[in-house]
Structure 1
Amino acid sequence: MTSPVATLPGSCNPPSPAAATPAIVLRRLGRAEYEPTWQAMQAFTAGRDAATPDELWLVEHPPVFTLGQAGKAEHLLRDVGIATVKIDRGGQVTYHGPGQVVIYTLIDLHRRGLKVRELVSRIEQAVIDLLAELGIAARREDGAPGVYVDIPGAVLGPMGAKIAALGLRIRNGCSYHGVSLNVAMDLAPFAAINPCGYEGLAVTQTSDLGVSLSPPEVAEALARHLVAQLERGGRSTPDL
């Protein structure tokens, strides 16, 4: 997934030691079609330089399946009338739809001193911390990026139920794509795929776990936790 650090204009070259890290910018896109948003992420990443502020894009998508760059079509189990888009993030297949919070993390890893694995861990931790705040115990699973929960009384596999999915692309030291958290959506389309490539993996959402917050409210809260994780050790606050 990673690419060498380029030295051409527009790449995310490491800033000078004296350069201040700009505040993270939050962009609230509302409901937006998937492909134009993906293309906008690519363009943003290609055009940024060492002075470009990092951004978090808060968005909700109409129904769409996305299949990662090494994704296998066999994980699409049946046609339910929802388009599939082959994209350039890591991972297998997932579903995006109304009622799901999606936050794209457009981050200069060099400037923040992050490796890819640490960025993934911080994104997961932001979700785990948010869910803890909402009274839901959540965890990571080794080798399976995302966030998982147990459901009392439910018969689940060893990983439990997935509540948040994560996939990134790193280009010239900068990330795009990000994290999706199921809030108050129709979960039925997940039955048409092997979520994230795992046969029989259960999925759940905050509204089914006793949380009454709306998707926009959850998005704002998750953005706050993401900023806290990304600014850990930093000096700035988000540009709201």
Structure 2
Amino acid sequence: MFTTCKVIDLGWIEYGPASELQKQAVQEVMADKSTSRIYLLEHLPVYTIGRAGGEHNVLVDETQLKELGISKYEVDRGGDVTYHGPGQLVGYPILPLTRWGNDVRQYVRMLEEVVIRFLRGYGIEGGRIEGLSGVWVGPEKICAIGVKASRDRHGKSFITSHGFALNVQPNLSHFANIIPCGIVDKGVTSMKKLLDREIAMGEVKQGWVQAFEEVFEVKCEWDSSDV
């Protein structure tokens, strides 16, 4: 059972290459669970539609998307439609869930707890809304969570992919072109909006990793090698 987890900072990356990287990583972790890892990154502007979503929750057509410079993908994670872009910390943990009872719901709650603890360090009181995933500040979502769990080759363990998207200081106007997560009566917010100041992404990554270590009780090691 793994006790350390490699953290790989991808910087800015388009969604397509990051998706392929995740698929490859899942196969590697299936073969050797000691290769567990977390990819941290910022995506170029993109709308992704999860398995529970639909095109009707994207409110602009292909021509408008092109004018906005925003791409669109249908993806195999849970959840509905969301936005990723610069200023948003995206994390893709590729982990075996054996250590946590192969409980996907518990895993999602733990990812939420990581963000809640991280935000508390900035004086932001994040919380949950019953029946909804993610982390909320009042009626506004600050962190979306959508995961996939793939069974390993022996059918004994789930390997996670996809993950979370924390709004640090993204362009919030891009959320106006979708119905985020298919929820019509809630809004979105960001750390910058709540704190009224810029936040360094490197600082956010370090703080998130520290909170992850606390909640998941693992040791994270930063990997500076090329991907």
Tell me which residue corresponds to 2:111: 123
**Residue 137 in 1 paired to residue 125 in 2?**
yes
Q: Distance in 2 between matches of 1:51 and 1:90?
A: 23
How many residues were matched structurally?
208
Matching residue within 189, 198, 213 for 2:199: 213
Matching residue within 198, 210, 218 for 1:224: 210
Q: Distance in 1 between matches of 2:99 and 2:119?
A: 28
Deviations along 1:34-58, one digit per CA (max 9) or x if unpaired, are 1111111111112322443321111
Offset, 1:237: 1.6
Greater than 6 Å deviation, 4+ residue runs = none
Tell me which residue corresponds to 1:163: 142
Deviations along 1:73-119, one digit per CA (max 9) or x if unpaired, are 11111234222100000000000000000111111001443411110
Matching residue within 28, 32, 39 for 1:57: 39
Runs (5+) with no aligned partner, structure 1: 1-19, 151-159
CA root-mean-square deviation: 1.5
Pairs within 5 Å for 1:70-109:
70-79=52-61, 80-81=64-65, 82-109=70-97
Change (3 A) 1:145 1:162: same
Q: Distance in 2 between matches of 1:32 and 1:109?
A: 27
Offset, 1:24: 0.7
Q: Distance in 2 between matches of 1:91 and 1:225?
A: 24
Amino acid at match of 2:214: A
Amino acid at match of 1:136: I
TM-score (norm 2): 0.87
Amino acid at match of 1:83: S
Q: Distance in 2 between matches of 1:51 and 1:164?
A: 27
Percent identity between the two aligned chains: 34
More helix by share: 2
Q: After the TM superposition, which of the residue ranges 218-227 and 61-70 deviates more from structure 2?
A: 218-227
Partner SS, residue 225 of structure 1 = helix
Amino acid at match of 2:141: K
TM-score (norm 1): 0.82
Runs (5+) with no aligned partner, structure 2: 152-157, 223-227
More strand by share: 2
**Residue 193 in 1 paired to residue 181 in 2?**
no
**Are the counterparts in 1 of residues 33 and 96 from structure 2 also a CA contact under 8 Å?**
no
